[in-house]
Amino acid sequence: MLRNLTKAGFASAVAALLMTVATTSAQAAEVTSKTVVDRLQIQDLITRYYNNFGRENAENFADFYAEGAELILGERHYKGKDGILEAYGRGPAKEGQPPRTPRPARYSFIVTISNPLIVVDGNSASAELVFTEFEIEKQGDAPKVIVQGKEYARFTKVKGIWRYAVRQIKSGTEPPLGWKP
Backbone angles phi, psi at 155, to 5 degrees: -125, 155
CATH fold for the domain made of 32-170? Nuclear Transport Factor 2; Chain: A, (3.10.450)
- Listed by start position, the domains of the chain span 32-170
Tens digit of each residue's pLDDT (9 = 90 or more) over 118-177: 999 999 999 999 999 999 999 999 999 999 999 999 999 999 999 999 999 999 889 999
Q: Could you give the CA distance from residue 38 to residue 53 in angstroms, rounded to a whole number?
A: 24
- Pairing of the two strands 65-73 and 161-170: parallel
pLDDT tens per residue, range 42-94:
999 999 999 988 887 778 899 999 999 999 999 999 999 999 988 887 666 66
pTM passes above 0.85:
no
pLDDT at 97: 65
User: Alpha-carbon distance 151 to 114, whole Å?
Assistant: 10
Quick one: 37 exposed, middle or buried, by C-beta within 10 A (0-12, 13-18, 19+)? exposed
Answer whether 117's CB lies under 8 Å from 127's CB: yes
| pLDDT class of 117 with cuts at 50, 70, 90 | very high
The backbone torsions φ and ψ at residue 138, rounded to the nearest 5 degrees and listed phi first, read -145, 155
Q: What is the pLDDT of residue 91?
A: 61
